[in-house]
Chain A
Amino acid sequence: MFGLDTKDTRLFFFVAVLVAFAPFLMNPFPTESGLAQFNGGYPDLMQRFVIFGIFAIGFNILFGLTGYLSFGHAAFLGTGSYAAVWMLKLLTINVIPAIVISTLVAGVMALAIGFISLRRSGIYFSILTLAFAQMAFALAASVLTPITGGETGLQTALNDPRILDFRAEGGNIPAPSLFGLEMRASYEWLVGGWSFTFNVGYYISGLFMLAALYVAIRIFRSPFGLMLKAIKTNQNRLNYTGVSTRPYTLTAFVISGMYAGLAGGLMAAMDPLAGAERMQWTASGEVVLMTILGGAGTLLGPILGAGFIKYFENIFSKINDSILHSWFSFLPEGLENVMVTILHPFVGKGWHLTLGILFMLVVIFLPGGLMEGMQRIGKMFSRKKKSDETDGKATVPAE
């Protein structure tokens, strides 16, 4: 369907169903129960799931397919955010122009950076992209303050021109909307002890993510995607056969930059605020973590990785000592305190430690990320092991 084969169609619908029912799936516990802190179904977090999903899908088109490890993708995310906020300020509070322009601006920037950086490969490419991103970050935080708002960031204001909008006098700063449908508007549905939140911004971002995933699937299955995989496998051999690889890598770089720009634009559309810290190299590192954790080179992996990191970032960082005490209150007091002391460094402000350890474990034991883990578990239960294994071996190039 839509030019996808059965397997991809199934995958696409699986993700679509996940996105559509996320408000239920993420809120499995009643609001009043003790487990309610594991609920991730509030709009802000769900928006971040899908937006970072887009970012990671885009990064995966570059890293997963061509093997070029960019350490500067946050620059495109930040540029997209700035462009989107400017569109919201100058043109209209409607989010459509903002999102379109942010994607295009990030694409143009990716074209310029990619044109230079892709002259080198390997670690040199990583350092070049890192250098460009750090330059963008430093400039945005200092010299470009009139455009970027410097350290305080850029946000919408009441007296922005907004030339396409009908302007009412006074009132509040208008919230970004889609033809009057405000991004932050939510509908709460109370069923028994449960409360489910359906947020406009989330569903719009979710639609964009599905579109992004669709395009990514088409790229993965196209001759162009095959070419990119060939570049990852052995670029020299391609050069010897007379294929110039530069146009292919550059296109992949621009596409993945545009994905990052789209993610940045959506971020600004959900919450009209853009700051320089979105461009810092730690933000680039985060998308690398997401992609690897989920499984680079797979379609579903980056989305899983983004969801995984964002979920644990929110949930782990909310757990504090009193919650820990309430969990272990069934134990005798001495033992309770021991358990809380052991777990204390890993939760709350220390959740980065948990993330770092998890990440190391994944890289050490599961180089293919969560997707490989799931496949291994799947294999354990499936009966036709042997035919699968021979399939896998046949793809190794004869070197």
Chain B
Amino acid sequence: MEAFIIQLLSGLDGGSAYALIALGLTLIFGTLGVVNFAHGALFMLGAFCTVTLQRLLSLSHEVIDESQKDFLGNPLKVKVPYLQDWFGEATSNAIIDWSVPLAILFAIPVMILIGIAMERGLIKHFYKRPHADQILVTFGLAIVLQEIIKAYFGANPIPAPAPEVFRGSYDFGLLLGFEPNRIIYPYWRLVYFAFAAIVITAVFAFLQFTTFGMVVRAGMADRETVGLLGIDIDRRFTIMFGLAACVAGLAGVMYTPINSPNYHMGMDFLVISFVVVVVGGMGSLPGAVLAGFVLGILQSFASMREVIEVIPGINQVVIYLAAIIILLTRPRGLLGRKGVMED
């Protein structure tokens, strides 16, 4: 039972990253009809927003500290962050400690701007081109973005630790009435899952309960008619692209303590998130979220020692295997609509 709950938890938090990326991909596909291979790169850019903020926060200047001496008796030079001059030591340490959650605030405007720039600058010109061309140009863009990050930040992973309070593990079993120390789970992964749930809910609420969201949904169903009604649907879709980029970026920001950001992390996620989108059904937002969690949980259970002993190597291939089976039995994916991408 305990093992089961631990695997379920790990499936949920692994699945939440897939679900967030797949949600953004589906938003773009559902609104603009573009297959965006650069989405993994947006995830990676989000993660590097954290790194950038961390560097900005720890910008420092050197001060000669009389109280500390090196072995020759000369006073040491100490680096003092500018933040410390402004806010005092305790506050500045707390701000630096919380740089990952703070990066969310930093990443939202940055990612929306990047998304809008990408749509206006490049993808706009590809609406009327075949899907293969869209795939290829965004694939090229992904390579370019990745290489720019590599040129600037280097090829090595850059650690970005979680705030002090969330390091270590949490005794999750106590909540469910188990004995202490039976179900222990890393704190930050629980936070990640909660965060993903909030973001997903927010996106759905935005689409469901605001006028803007209503127009966007109408545009997804029939773009031409909405345009004929005198609504500037293109502008709204551009904003949706920014929002989708923002969702991917936030997924990346919060992922940094789990996996230190490096320049190719986006590509690693891209393949799986495409599988997730297709399994969920192209163009279906609930499908993308559902498939993300289902595949995450499947992968987590397939990594159990008992399962691997029976079928060796299943943990490596279970996602693809599930995708093949689902695509062959349910041709439109789990929740796919008729008439999407069928040409």
Contact = CB atoms under 8 A, between A and B. Distances in A.
Q: Do A and B bind each other?
A: yes
Interface of A: 67, 69, 116, 119-120, 122-124, 126-128, 130-132, 134-135, 138-139, 141-144, 281-282, 285, 288, 292, 345, 349-350, 352-353, 355-357, 359-360, 363-364, 367
Contacts of B150: 350
Contact of A128 (B35, B144, B147, B324): B324
A135 B323 CA distance: 11
Interface string B295-320: 00000000000000000110011001
Interface in B117-163: 122, 125, 129, 131-133, 135-137, 139-144, 146-148, 150-151, 155
Contacts of B342: 122
A120 to B, nearest CB: 6
Contacts of A367: 129, 133
A131 B324 contact: yes
A127 B327 contact: yes
Contacts of A142: 313, 316
Nearest to A235: B343
Contacts of B133: 363, 367
Contacts of B327: 120, 124, 127-128
A116 B316 CA distance: 20
A390 to B, nearest CB: 24
B267 interface: yes
B161 to A, nearest CB: 28
Nearest to B323: A131
Contacts of A141: 316
A122 B131 contact: yes
Given A69-B135, A350-B147, A127 B274 contact: yes
By secondary structure, the B interface counts as helix
Interface residues of B, number: 42
Interface in B321-342: 321, 323-324, 327-328, 331, 341-342
A345 B320 CA distance: 36
A89 to B, nearest CB: 23
Closest 9 CB pairs between A and B?
Answer: A143-B313, A356-B143, A138-B316, A353-B147, A131-B320, A360-B140, A356-B144, A359-B140, A345-B151
Contacts of A135: 316-317, 320-321
A123 B35 contact: yes
Contacts of A124: 278, 327, 331, 341
Q: Which of A67, A116, A128, A356 has its CB near the most chain B CB atoms (within 10 A)?
A: A356
Nearest to A113: B324
A360 B137 contact: yes
A288 B323 contact: no
A123 B324 contact: no
Given A142-B313, A353-B151, A364-B125, A127 B275 contact: yes
B174 interface: no
B112 interface: no
A288 B278 CA distance: 21
A126 B341 CA distance: 12
19 contacts: A67-B132, A69-B132, A122-B131, A123-B35, A123-B341, A127-B275, A127-B323, A127-B327, A130-B271, A135-B316, A138-B313, A138-B317, A143-B313, A356-B143, A356-B144, A356-B146, A357-B144, A360-B137, A360-B141
B132 to A, nearest CB: 6
| Residue from A126, A135, A282 with most neighbouring chain B CB atoms (10 Å) | A135
A126 B331 CA distance: 14
Contacts of B147: 345, 350, 352-353, 356
A141 B315 CA distance: 13
B151 A363 contact: no
Nearest to B331: A120
A132 B325 CA distance: 12
A119 B325 CA distance: 12
B47 interface: no
A398 B208 CA distance: 42
Given A123-B282, A353-B148, 4 more contacts: A123-B131, A124-B327, A144-B313, A359-B140
B271 A353 contact: no
Nearest to A143: B313
Q: Which of B146, B278, B341 has the most CB of A within 10 A?
A: B278
Contacts of B122: 364
A139 B141 contact: no
A14 B146 CA distance: 39
A249 to B, nearest CB: 16
Given A352-B147, A360-B140, A134 B271 contact: yes
A285 B138 CA distance: 13
